[in-house]
Amino acid sequence: MNYNKKTVRDIDVAGKKVLLRCDFNVPMAKDSSGVITDDKRIVAALPTIRYLLENGAAVIACSHMGKPQPSFDKWVQKQTEKGKDPATLTEAKWQKSLAELSLKPVAARLAELLEMPVIMAADVVGEDARAKAAALQPGQILLLENTRFEKGETKNDPALARAMADMADLYVSDAFGAVHRAHASTAGVADYLPAVSGFLIQKELDFIGGALANPKRPLVAILGGSKVSSKIGVINNLLEIADTIIIGGGMAYTFSAAQGGKVGDSLLEADWMDYSNEMVAKAAAKGVKLLLPVDTVIADRFAPDAAQQVVKAGEIPDGWQGLDIGPETVKLYCDAVKDAGTVIWNGPMGVFEFAAFAKGTEAVAEALSKTEATTIIGGGDSAAAVQQLGYADKMTHISTGGGASLEFMEGKELPGVACLLDK
Ligand code: ADP
Ligand code: MG
């Protein structure tokens, strides 16, 4: 995939109506009060929005929010599958479920942050949206309703993409968290409009794309998290690129078991043992250094206050489970990143959500904060771990897209990036 894409700076936006795809899929309070519990994604979109407005564009912003069910019948079916009594499923309740996923609270928060009015459309491509888009003046911003209120959005329906495109002269994508999806508003619209990236996507392409395509070496990949099966693509792709691969987290026990180790009650994916052996062999054949834990912190149950002890890797007694890498492993891994040129990290080293088992993840974060290397963090939980442990501002780049950054690291083509104009 070509990561060198045109940005808003490479195109004249003055006097243009710009359809701007944002990621405003923010967490909302569970009590239907419309309170946004974390506005990070709205704040992150501000630089591109401000750039467009200041340079004379009229901005038609759009985003999805949650997973609304745009048809009543489908909604009833889904709710019934979840065990709800069909007799209680009324049209009014369905309407309420949609209203809870309205972008109105986002418009209000965006207006506060921009210190200017944000015009809210009642629909996505309906009469209201079209009239408001047609009347929009340079320097003004309109927010369309939740794109997933339209059935065609997730199906990448060309008619919907066309209708959205018809309101604008230019498409700017800044929703990195959604670029791995080929939806009408993330990719389809680019069939009908010139398409460029905003600053958020540009940054992701520069850092992750740069690290994959042309890394400063040595490139060290740190891979952890819960499961081997969810990281096969990442391991595969990074084996082709990295000089050193470090394995930690829950997936390490599948590697250990495959080598004949005893893993007790640790997370184990027996079906993936052969695969993990293949990866070890492949690394050896390619001359990639692959490091596995030499010791592990084990617990007598999966709990924050579980009894714990340190044992050698592969010597976990029955009834115990590995929840973190051990102190010798920490030393080994911190040493391995010391002289790195680039470090890509995906997946925590242990169950960092429990303070007692966060030491391995924290030590690695600290080691990264001290290197001269370009440090790139991908994956939702990894980003959360680095934030929670207080190392966020010490990293070169923390990806904002969970699923999107994983697919990026897997080397997959991202439809929402591929559709943008090449530089
Ligand atoms: P990311 O979202 O960054 O891609 P993953 O979703 O793969 O990361 O993994 C994150 C999860 O892995 C965390 O919730 C963490 O608690 C869990 N995890 C890490 N080590 C272990 C372990 N030894 N046993 C069980 N779960 C683990
Ligand atoms: Mg995750």
Tell me the pLDDT tens digit for each residue of 251-275.
Answer: 999 999 999 999 999 999 999 999 9
State mean pLDDT over 193-209.
Answer: 96
Antiparallel, parallel or unpaired: β 308-312 and 295-299:
antiparallel
382 lines ligand 1 (CB under 6 A): yes
Lowest model confidence (mean pLDDT) among 23-37, 175-189, 288-302:
23-37
Give the H or E element holding residue 262: strand 262-263
Determine the Cα–Cα distance for residues 110 and 102; give it in Å rounded to an integer.
14
The predicted pLDDT at position 191 comes to 98
Ligand with minimal distance to 377 CA:
1
Helix (H, G, I), strand (E, B) or coil at 159: helix
Residue found under tokens 């190392």: 391
Ligand with minimal distance to 231 CA:
1
The predicted pLDDT at position 401 comes to 84
> In a mutational test of the pocket of ligand 1, which residue from 311, 325, 381, 408 has the highest number of ligand atoms less than 8 Å from its CB?
381
The predicted pLDDT at position 17 comes to 98
CA of 406 to the centre of ligand 2 (A): 9
CA of 348 to the centre of ligand 2 (A): 9
Residue 411, sorted as left (phi over 0), alpha (psi -120 to 50) or beta, turns out to be: left
CA of 61 to the centre of ligand 1 (A): 34
> In a mutational test of the pocket of ligand 1, which residue from 253, 263, 351, 359 has the highest number of ligand atoms less than 8 Å from its CB?
351
Determine the Cα–Cα distance for residues 157 and 164; give it in Å rounded to an integer.
11
- What are the b/e assignments for 109-120, b being 16+ CB within 10 Å? bbbebeeeebbb
188 lines ligand 1 (CB under 6 A): no
Annotated active-site residue 338? The verdict is: no
The predicted pLDDT at position 314 comes to 98
What does the pLDDT look like over 343-353, one tens digit per residue?
999 999 999 99
Lowest model confidence (mean pLDDT) among 28-37, 62-71, 83-92:
28-37
Looking at every residue in the chain, the average pLDDT score rounds to 96
CA of 379 to the centre of ligand 2 (A): 6
Is the per-residue pLDDT at 27 higher than 80?
yes
State mean pLDDT over 182-197.
Answer: 98
* Whether 337 contacts 212, CB under 8 Å: no
State mean pLDDT over 18-26.
Answer: 97
Determine the Cα–Cα distance for residues 19 and 23; give it in Å rounded to an integer.
13
The predicted pLDDT at position 159 comes to 98
Q: How confident is the model at residue 297 (pLDDT cuts 50, 70, 90)?
A: very high
The predicted pLDDT at position 1 comes to 80
Residue 244: phi and psi, rounded to 5, are: -135, 140
The predicted pLDDT at position 2 comes to 86
410 lines ligand 1 (CB under 6 A): no
371 lines ligand 1 (CB under 6 A): no
Annotated active-site residue 209? The verdict is: no
Sheet of strand 119-120: strand arrangement: 119-120, 141-143, 58-62, 17-21, 170-173, 195-197
Q: How confident is the model at residue 190 (pLDDT cuts 50, 70, 90)?
A: very high
Ligand with minimal distance to 304 CA:
1
The predicted pLDDT at position 31 comes to 82
Annotated active-site residue 380? The verdict is: yes
The predicted pLDDT at position 402 comes to 83
What does the pLDDT look like over 82-130, one tens digit per residue?
999 988 999 999 999 999 999 999 999 999 999 999 999 999 999 999 9
353 lines ligand 1 (CB under 6 A): yes
Instruction: Please give the sequence-ordered ranges of beta strands (E in DSSP) within 307-400, or none if there are none.
Output: 308-312, 315-316, 321-325, 342-346, 374-377, 397-398
Q: How confident is the model at residue 172 (pLDDT cuts 50, 70, 90)?
A: very high
Determine the Cα–Cα distance for residues 82 and 339; give it in Å rounded to an integer.
51
The predicted pLDDT at position 400 comes to 85
Annotated active-site residue 84? The verdict is: no
- Percent of the chain past pLDDT 90, that is, above it, reads 93
DSSP label at 131?
H
Q: Which of 16, 21, 41, 132 is catalytic?
A: 41
Whether the link from the prior residue into 304 is cis, omega within 30° of 0, is: no
The predicted pLDDT at position 33 comes to 83
State mean pLDDT over 333-359.
Answer: 96
Determine the Cα–Cα distance for residues 17 and 370; give it in Å rounded to an integer.
45
Q: Which of 34, 341, 402, 403 is catalytic?
A: 403
